[in-house]
Structures are given as C-alpha cells and as structure tokens.
Amino acid sequence: MKRFGLLIFCWLMLGLSAQATITASGTAAVCAVNSGTTITITRNEGVNNTVAVVVYVTNQHHDWVNTLTDTGGSTYTERIAAYSSGSEVLSIFSTPAGGSLASTSITIGMETTNQAIACAFEYLGVASLGNTAVNNDTSAALTVSVTTQDANNWVVGGFGQYSGSAELTQNVGTLRAALSNGTNIVSGLADNTCVSAGSCQVAVASDESAVWVAAGLELRSGAAPPAAAKRRIIAD
C-alpha cells in the first residue's frame, strides 16, 4: 500500500513538473519594413527560447517567403497563414518550442518586392506549440481567438491592415510592437495569456476601418502528448 501511494505521489509530481511558466522577453519586440526582397529585424534572441515572427505582405496568395534565418542558425517553420478579403497574406513563423539559438538579427527573404512588414518577439518557458486560428474583416477592430488546451497558455497574435496611415493600439492582451510603412500597410505583434483552457482572444484597435487579416498561435505551458502510433500495412 505504501508503495502504491509513493507511485501515485511520484506520478502527480511528474505531472506538475511538466507544466511550465511562460514569460515574455524583457527585450522589446521589433518590426521592420522590407528593402527590396529582404526584411532584416535587428534584435538579440536568446538560446533555448521560442521566437515568433509575424510577416505581412500585399498582393500575394501563395508561398512567398523563400527563406527565414537568423545569425545563430535557428530553424523557423511557418505555423499558420491567413489571407485577407483583398490580396494580402499574414504568416506566423516560429522556432521550435525552446529551440532558439542566440542571434543578433533575423532575415526574411521574399520572392517579390511587394510591400511587407515583419515583427519578431521572444518567449521563455514554452513547452510546446499548439492550436492556430485566423480571422479577417474590414473594420477598426482587429481580433483573433485561439482555443487553448491548458491553463495559463499564451496566444501570439499577428495583425496586418491595408492602410499605411493607420495606427494600431493595444486592446485585448499586450501589443508588443507595430509599424506602418507609411504607404499602404500597417502590421503588429501582440499576445495574451488566459488563466483557463478555452477560447483566448488577442485584439488590437486601428484608427481606421479597412481590410485586415489576423492569425494566432498557441504557446503551451505543458508538453504536447506523444503522437499516436501508426500501423504500417504492407500488401502482399
């Protein structure tokens, strides 16, 4: 009986230890506009963290980012892409959870010279990546909601609006950075944390009503469960 009780205690402690505490970087998020087919974000990223990069571009409806690298050699993957009712696309890229390498800048290589903005920020203590969501409209309220799977998970939101004179301000969550190219687009990166699992909203406000697009990515405080084993069927 004592052994059984000890096993239960150890199992509970392992479950608790698997729950991480996510925190935001103490260094400000940075946004940058493109120069030709390149966007360079100058920002120091740490090791073993999770870097999120939001990229927003006009007049694209296909895979338009050729490369996304940093000076440390981190690996980036597109987690979600969202399309506006016009011809704009916004993507969220990230390193693996806890997979960043120390770097001093991020470079996005694009296949066209269309107007684009990218923003980057870093999170500590992310155990795994989770659900995604998209949204688009033609209003002054830019919002996206992601269904989170654990308590105290975070949602990173990327926002882009086709209006070069608009200004994005904080609404629901924390607006980490926003930038206008002064011509036709404005973009930003925001995040929010929700105490309970379920719908978690991130939103920013614009001072103009115009076409916009948004995407959200869940940062999990707990590790994702292992994938189910797959049966391999071999025909005779």
Domain membership of residue 11 (yes or no) is: no
The distance from CA 20 to its chain's CA centroid, rounded to whole angstroms, is 18
Number of domains the chain contains: 1
Closest to 57 measured CA to CA, from 66, 67, 45, 65: 65
List the one residue out of 16, 209, 46 whose CA is nearest residue 123: 46
CB atoms within 10 A of CB 28: 9
Mean pLDDT of 184-206: 96
Tens digit of each residue's pLDDT (9 = 90 or more) over 30-70: 999 999 999 999 999 999 999 999 999 987 666 689 999 99
Asked whether residue 7 is assigned to any structural domain, the reply reads: no
Return mean pLDDT, the chain: 88
- Contact (CB, 8 A) for 119 and 158: yes
Give CA–CA dist 232/196, Å, rounded. Answer: 38
Residues 6+ apart with CB under 8 A from 67: 107, 108, 109
Residue 9 lies in a domain: no
pLDDT score, position 226: 57
- Name which residue leads in pLDDT, 99 or 84: 99
Dump the DSSP string for 40-82.
EEEEEE-TTSEEEEEEEESS--S--EEEEEETT----EEEEEE
pLDDT at 64: 83
Q: What is the mean pLDDT of residues 134-144?
A: 96
Predicted local distance difference test score (pLDDT) of residue 5: 46
Q: Is residue 160 part of a domain?
A: yes
The per-residue pLDDT for 61 is 60
Cβ atoms of residues 201 and 141 within 8 Å = no
Q: Tell me which residue has tokens 């392992």.
A: 14
The single residue listed with the structure tokens 């707990």 is 222
Q: Is the pLDDT of residue 77 over 80?
A: yes
Decide if 229 is inside a domain.
no
Domain-embedded: residue 13: no
Q: Is residue 4 part of a domain?
A: no
Look at residue 18 in the predicted model and tell me its pLDDT: 56
Structural domain of residue 168, as residue ranges? Answer: 22-220
Task: Quick: pLDDT tens for 198-233.
Answer: 999 999 999 999 999 999 999 999 877 655 443 333
Q: Could you tell me which residues come within 8 angstroms of residue 226 by beta carbon, excluding any fewer than 6 positions away?
A: none
Q: What is the pLDDT of residue 159?
A: 98
pLDDT single digits (tens) 100-123 = 999 999 999 998 888 999 999 999
Name the residue among 81, 97, 106, 86 with its Cα closest to residue 22.
97
Inside any domain, residue 232: no
